Amino acid sequence: MKIMMVTNTFTPHVGGVARSVQQFADQYRKQGHQVCVVAPGAVGKRYHDDINTIRIPAAEDVGGSSFYLPVLTKSMEANVRLVSVLFRPDVIHSHHPFLLGTLARKLSDLFKKPLIFTHHTMYEHYSHVVSKNSVAPTMLKNIPTAYANMCDRVIAPSTSTLETIRSRGVRSPISVLPTGVDIEKFSKGSKNLWRHRLGIPENAAVVGHVGRLTPEKNLEFMASALKELRKKFSSIWFLIVGDGSAKKEFEKNMKGVSRTCFTGSLSGQDLIDAYHAMDVFVFSSYSETQGMVLAEAMATGLPVVALKAPGVVDVLVDGTNGYMLELENPLAFAKATAWALSNKKTLSEAAKKTALEFSQETCARKAIELYKEVGYTPKQNIVNAASFTNSLLKTFLR
């Protein structure tokens, strides 16, 4: 099968969507399918891409974030069309509802092939990036809903995401399909590699977090909870993996809290070894549509403590593989983390079993089956709606 994936964010950018696209593309190829990825790329940078990857020139660090803003000129769009004609896709899979997402819709009509859209993100949590306008959160709910209704099938990374977008008015058929985790790869790591690098004792209790350090990740609450935990257990170490626009603020909030280590952004085996250096994984974000990092953490045998949120509820079973809190209470979060540390052995076994449900191979096979069953619907009657929502978002990004 020939699959064209269109995305506004792709590796080496570090983020859930970029990793999801890369992982599905890798799995599709392993299973004998051909993949063409259309994604942004900074001018002048070299990428170690597959031959079928098309990079669209893009502006960097939009709104002070790590995201790229692809600039699709008429000549560049013509080049993409030419390459697409040579590739001849069987399905177009869009990963964003705007910018290159509009290109995906046009390609679907050009080839009369199904348009699939994965609703990865609750964009209203990112309104601080695009605009300070008070209507931005509402617009960032309405745009992906309108786009989803232009598609032949919508993929929700979790059941909770399906319920949310359905309540917002998505009428297109929706299938639940998480990204998946390389279980075998994440299960093999070194507990002491990062401990030795950072001076953490081998027998110390380590509470860790992995993710972009950006405002939508609710890091102010995370810092408050970790401080409460430190009050109770002075010997605990904190290991924070990630980078982003809120890193300095997070470091400021953690100032004076000894035994706190920041590694910066990690990938590959370094990331896996960092997970293995932890004893409990903590998470406070409300903006995730799937618990990808939670599944990764569980694949390494880590119990998880997190706030109840979309995505989280599909992975975390309260009292079984970790602890889920209904409310933002730093003291309660600290107590839950202490409980997870004291019950690590039992919770760890349950976490590993949960991770098996999210294997990459299984998720990729399900995606291929979904592609084969979806038919194409002409979309010319909603071109104006697509252009309108796209123009609105570009206005906010200026």
Q: What is the pLDDT of residues 339-368, one digit of tens each?
A: 999 999 999 999 999 999 889 999 999 999
* Mean pLDDT of the 272-278 span: 98
CA-angle at 292, arms to 291 and 296, nearest 5°:
115
pLDDT at 384: 47
Task: Report how far apart, in Å, the C-alpha atoms of 193 and of each of 38, 268, 345 are.
Answer: 37, 14, 21
Beta-bridged to residue 208, according to DSSP, are: 239, 281
Helix residue ranges, H only, 208-300: 219-232, 247-253, 268-276, 292-299
Is a pLDDT exceeding 50 seen at residue 385?
A: no
Copy the structure tokens of residue 291. Answer: 């618990």
CATH architecture under which domain 2-180+360-397 falls: 3-Layer(aba) Sandwich (3.40)
Pairing of strands 53-59, 69-70: antiparallel
Is a pLDDT exceeding 80 seen at residue 60?
A: no
pLDDT at 158: 86
- Residue 7 pLDDT grade (very low, low, confident, very high; cuts 50, 70, 90): very high
Distance between start and end Cα atoms, the chain: 39
pLDDT at 383: 45
**Number of other CB atoms surrounding residue 327 within 10 Å:** 8
pLDDT at 308: 94
* Mean pLDDT of the 200-218 span: 93
* Mean pLDDT of the 379-383 span: 54
pLDDT at 388: 46
DSSP state, residue 375 = P
Q: Where in the chain is the domain with CATH 3.40.50.2000?
A: 2-180+360-397, 183-356
Distance CA(241)–CA(207), nearest Å, equals 11
List pLDDT tens digits, range 155-180. 998 888 899 899 999 999 999 998 88
Say what percent of the chain tops pLDDT 70.
Answer: 90
Copy the structure tokens of residue 171. Answer: 């009428």
**Number of other CB atoms surrounding residue 54 within 10 Å:** 18
Instruction: Report the predicted TM-score, pTM, of the whole model to 2 decimal places.
Output: 0.74
Distance CA(398)–CA(382), nearest Å, equals 25
- Highest mean pLDDT among 122-126, 266-270, 303-307, 312-316 belongs to 303-307
pLDDT at 391: 52
pLDDT at 59: 81
Q: 183-356 adopts what CATH topology? A: Rossmann fold (3.40.50)
Range with the lowest mean pLDDT among 47-61, 188-202, 231-245? 47-61
Q: Contact, 178 vs 289, CB < 8 A? A: no
Distance CA(280)–CA(318), nearest Å, equals 14
Is a pLDDT exceeding 60 seen at residue 232?
A: yes
List pLDDT tens digits, range 82-108. 999 999 999 999 999 988 999 999 999
Is a pLDDT exceeding 70 seen at residue 6?
A: yes
DSSP string spanning 340-359? Answer: HHHTHHHHHHHHHHHHHTTB
Is a pLDDT exceeding 70 seen at residue 136?
A: no
Q: Contact, 322 vs 344, CB < 8 A? A: no
Which amino acid would we find at residue 76?
M
